[in-house]
Amino acid sequence: MSIPDLNLLVTLDVLLAEGSVARAARRLRLSPSAMSRALARLRDTLGDPLLVRAGRGLVPTPRALELRERVAQLVQDAEAVLRPATQIDLAQLVRTFTLRSSEGFVENFGPALIARIAEQAPGVRLHFMQKPDKDSTPLRNGTVDLETGVVDPDTSPELRTQALFRDRFVGVVRAGHPLSRGEITPARFAAGGHIYVSRRGLDRGPIDDALDSLGLTREVVTTVAGFSTALALARASELIASVPERHTASLRDGMHSFALPLPLPAFTVAMLWHPRMDADPAHRWLRGCLREVCGR
């Protein structure tokens, strides 16, 4: 079955609105002969004369009258689809966005983000998902709308990224811990029992490499999957947690934090999304909300 020429819908809409081949030709900036040929094609396609001679003018057939409103709506809808995205009415927006992030990020920035969205768009809901890995498939297939994390060489090059803030690792111990007093040297830091955070269950990372360069090693007593879990353990024990400073700011209340006595570089936390969401007005608004919340 051949696919009909959808351009004929526009021609049909104008012909039925004008009721004249000449006026329709002027409106569409076509020659009268080109418009006559288009009318002939429409008659052949629809199996109806559509416009018939009545005195010196043309009158629509019953079939044309039946189609007039439907065709006008179809053309109007098509034009709306093909029109560039416009400003959205946030007060009327009803949508659920899925954000994939670490538990610490949600606990630290989630309350402010939820409050901001509720104020501007009460019909919008946020669905936070845990981020067990850096697989970009959920962003690609649309099950995740937005993600946060550190961009590294393994990040898919097709994703869009935008920096949210710079961060660094700090050491954290319970209030009254021996490391809450005096100078923190690399040797004092290495001598304690440590909590290592790894989603993949690894037992060493950049901190261990930095200690190795100084001829030191640390004892990793336990490995956990998230920063909030590490802080909960450190709060109730003698163990030392090493966590991102800004990422965990609200989770470290009542604990003692200190700069790591190691040459570790700062890193950038960014948001990531698939390019098909670039032009979506609601998604752009959500990205702006996240930038503002993280920039405070």
Residues 137-157 pLDDT 10s:
889 888 999 999 888 777 778
What pLDDT shows up at residue 7? 84
Selection from 97-106, 206-215, 244-253 with the highest mean pLDDT: 206-215
What pLDDT shows up at residue 160? 92
**Residue spans in the chain of domains classed CATH 1.10.10.10:** 7-82
Q: Is the pLDDT of residue 132 over 60?
A: yes
Please name the amino acid found at residue 13: D
What pLDDT shows up at residue 135? 80
CATH 3.40.190.10 fits 90-167+268-294, yes or no: yes
Q: Is the pLDDT of residue 173 over 90?
A: yes
Q: Residue 265: name the closest of 209, 220, 193 by CA.
A: 209
Per-residue pLDDT tens digits for 273-283: 999 898 899 99
What pLDDT shows up at residue 168? 95
**Residue spans in the chain of domains classed CATH 3.40.190.10:** 90-167+268-294, 169-265
Whole-number mean pLDDT of the chain? 90
C-beta separation of 230 from 224 below 8 A: yes
Give the architecture-level CATH label for domain 169-265. Answer: 3-Layer(aba) Sandwich (3.40)
What pLDDT shows up at residue 223? 94
| Residue 151 tokens, joined | 């961009």
CA dihedral over 219, 221, 224, 229, signed as positive or negative:
negative
What pLDDT shows up at residue 259? 96
What pLDDT shows up at residue 140? 87
Q: Is the pLDDT of residue 1 over 60?
A: no
Identify the residue whose tokens are 């995205």.
Answer: 85
What pLDDT shows up at residue 72? 87
Q: Which residue has the higher pLDDT, 138 or 237?
A: 237
| Residue 114 tokens, joined | 């939820």
Per-residue pLDDT tens digits for 72-128: 888 888 887 777 666 789 999 999 999 999 878 888 899 999 999 999 999 999 999
Q: Predicted confidence band at 197 (pLDDT cuts at 50, 70, 90)?
A: very high
Q: Predicted confidence band at 229 (pLDDT cuts at 50, 70, 90)?
A: very high
What pLDDT shows up at residue 84? 66
Which residues 6+ apart lie within 8 Å of 84 measured at CB? 279
- For the chain, what percent of residues have pLDDT higher than 90? 61
The CATH number given to 7-82 is 1.10.10.10
What pLDDT shows up at residue 107? 87
Q: Is the pLDDT of residue 182 over 80?
A: yes
User: Residue 290 and residue 127: Cα distance in Å, rounded?
Assistant: 14
What pLDDT shows up at residue 287? 96
pTM listed for this prediction: 0.68
